[in-house]
């Protein structure tokens, strides 16, 4: 049977790691031992209290709804825990109309777009940046205007780079701090500017806070909702994936503008049937115990981060120490004339080490590469040893 896929699939960019996966498979087929520092997916196990809560709930015979659709049998504890978390962590009060529970942020970003964008609408996304914002637009036959992030501006989006006609047309603007892939963090003042820009141009500011808990050296990342009026001008995508080592669990929420939340909920009602109750209970447990559960995870990333930064420095390829995220974002060595793809290629060919070329996150990411800290210490150490040899140090 001839079955051409929908036209929209042709508009999707190639999956960021597809090419990488293919190259790794080819090397492995040649019997070469490849070490990957490419993908950002926590290797550390989910903390035990969260797992215990899942098990307690899933086997609890007193809960007659434990097997049912999560949307029909929501766990009241989860919105309560989300509220408690926003109150404790940011001093932000949320009400029920401002909260949508989601199965992670990636899904939520696309579903959110489906609820808000018409064909031909415009969304603004940063480059380098997480590819899913544009993918959400593509699924709605909407368009993306990319704003370059620049090292000279601390990788913060410069709102002056958005042309007036673009600002007038756009409906959504995506930002993400702590940032993937640049590891940059944003002060509250930046979020204030974002809210002000959004209000002036009637653009909803969509803040992706996927790395809000992966912070180091005493740094605490602010929420955009701390800005007065932001609960109307913005939404925040919160995810338990990276902070709690829960990527596979699919747990998160979107909070903020009630009309946007309502639209997202309507999409969700028609597309998925909510989260398993046990996962809802476990997510509530995680948020309630954030203060004790995340520091041990971050201690491990911090140790790995220091190892990477130190070794690259010794190799003559110095990098800045990131305050947040699970990555190191490093300038491509000069020898490769700033071509991150050429560097990543050489690293794979000559050293058997996989890193993500910044070019994969858009042209403005070229000249940098990303190392993920989500691999065991020994793996990272061996990869670094190989990198050091390639550098001739
Ligand atoms: C990992 C990641 C997410 C998505 O995480 P989920 O597992 O879908 O919640 C969202 N945004 C950025 C920038 C990410 O790196």
Secondary structure class of 173 (helix, strand, coil)? strand
Q: Whose CA is nearest to atom 14 of ligand 1?
A: 210
CA distance 239 to 325: 13
C-beta of residue 201 within 8 angstroms of C-beta of residue 390: no
pLDDT at 82 over 90: yes
Q: What is the pLDDT of residues 162-211, one digit of tens each?
A: 999 999 999 999 999 999 999 999 999 999 999 999 999 999 999 999 99
What does the pLDDT read at residue 390?
Answer: 85
Q: What is the pLDDT of residues 231-241, one digit of tens each?
A: 999 999 999 99
Residues of the chain with CATH 3.40.640.10: 48-289
Q: Whose CA is nearest to atom 2 of ligand 1?
A: 210
CATH number of 48-289: 3.40.640.10
Chain mean position to CA 128: 13
CA distance 347 to 355: 8
Residues of the chain with CATH 3.90.1150.10: 7-46+292-391
Which residue's structure tokens are 């190259």?
23
CA distance 303 to 220: 18
C-beta of residue 320 within 8 angstroms of C-beta of residue 114: no
Q: Which residues line ligand 1 at a C-beta cut-off of 6 Å?
A: 104-106, 130, 176, 180, 208, 210, 239, 241-242, 247, 252
**pTM (2 d.p.):** 0.96
Architecture per CATH, 7-46+292-391: Alpha-Beta Complex (3.90)
pLDDT band for position 367 (50/70/90)? very high
pLDDT band for position 20 (50/70/90)? confident
pLDDT band for position 330 (50/70/90)? very high
Q: Whose CA is nearest to atom 11 of ligand 1?
A: 210
Q: What is the pLDDT of residues 99-112, one digit of tens each?
A: 999 999 999 999 99
Q: Whose CA is nearest to atom 5 of ligand 1?
A: 105
Q: Ligand 1 centre and the CA of 87: distance in Å?
A: 23
Which atom from ligand 1 is nearest to the alpha carbon of 251? 9
Higher-confidence residue of 72 and 143: namely 143
C-beta of residue 180 within 8 angstroms of C-beta of residue 126: no
Q: Ligand 1 centre and the CA of 350: distance in Å?
A: 31
Which residue's structure tokens are 């049912």?
68
Q: Length of the chain in residues, anyone? A: 393
Mean pLDDT of the chain: 94
CA distance 179 to 310: 22
Q: Ligand 1 centre and the CA of 239: distance in Å?
A: 7
Question: Could you tell me the two tokens for 292?
Answer: 């004790």
């Amino acid at each position: 049977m001839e079955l051409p896929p929908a036209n929209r699939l042709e508009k999707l960019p190639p999956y960021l790691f597809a090419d990488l996966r293919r190259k790794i498979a080819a090397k492995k087929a040649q019997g070469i031992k490849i070490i990957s520092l490419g993908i950002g997916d926590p290797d550390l196990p989910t903390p035990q209290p969260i797992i215990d809560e899942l098990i307690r709930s899933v086997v609890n015979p007193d809960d007659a709804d434990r097997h049912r659709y999560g949307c029909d049998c929501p766990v009241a504890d989860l919105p309560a825990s989300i509220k408690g978390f926003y109150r404790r962590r940011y001093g932000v009060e949320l009400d029920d109309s401002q909260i949508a529970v989601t199965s992670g942020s990636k899904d939520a970003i696309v579903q959110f777009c489906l609820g808000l964008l018409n064909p031909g609408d415009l969304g603004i996304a940063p480059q380098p940046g997480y590819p899913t914002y544009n993918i959400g637009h593509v699924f709605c036959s909407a368009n993306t205007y990319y704003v370059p992030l620049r090292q000279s501006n601390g990788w913060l989006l410069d709102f002056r780079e958005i042309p007036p006609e673009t600002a007038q047309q756009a409906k959504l603007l995506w930002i993400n701090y702590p940032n993937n892939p640049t590891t940059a963090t944003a002060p509250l003042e930046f979020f204030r500017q974002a809210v002000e820009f959004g209000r002036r141009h009637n653009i909803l500011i969509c803040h992706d806070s996927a790395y809000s808990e992966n912070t180091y050296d005493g740094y605490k990342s602010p929420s955009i909702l701390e800005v007065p009026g932001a609960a109307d001008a913005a939404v925040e995508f919160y995810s338990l994936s990276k902070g709690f080592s829960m990527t596979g669990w699919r747990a998160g929420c979107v909070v903020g503008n009630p009309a946007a939340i309502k639209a997202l909920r309507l999409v969700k009602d028609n597309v998925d049937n909510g989260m398993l109750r046990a996962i809802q209970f476990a997510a509530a447990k995680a948020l309630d115990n954030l203060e004790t559960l995340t520091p041990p995870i971050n201690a491990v990333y911090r140790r790995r981060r220091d190892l990477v930064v130190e070794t690259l420095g010794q190799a003559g390829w110095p990098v800045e120490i990131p305050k947040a995220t699970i990555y190191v974002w490093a300038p491509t060595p000069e020898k490769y004339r700033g071509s991150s793809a050429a560097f990543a290629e050489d690293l794979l060919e000559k050293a058997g080490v996989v890193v993500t070329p910044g070019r994969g996150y858009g042209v403005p990411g070229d000249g940098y590469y990303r190392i993920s800290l989500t691999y065991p210490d020994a793996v990272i150490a061996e990869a670094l040893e190989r990198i050091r040899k390639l550098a001739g140090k």
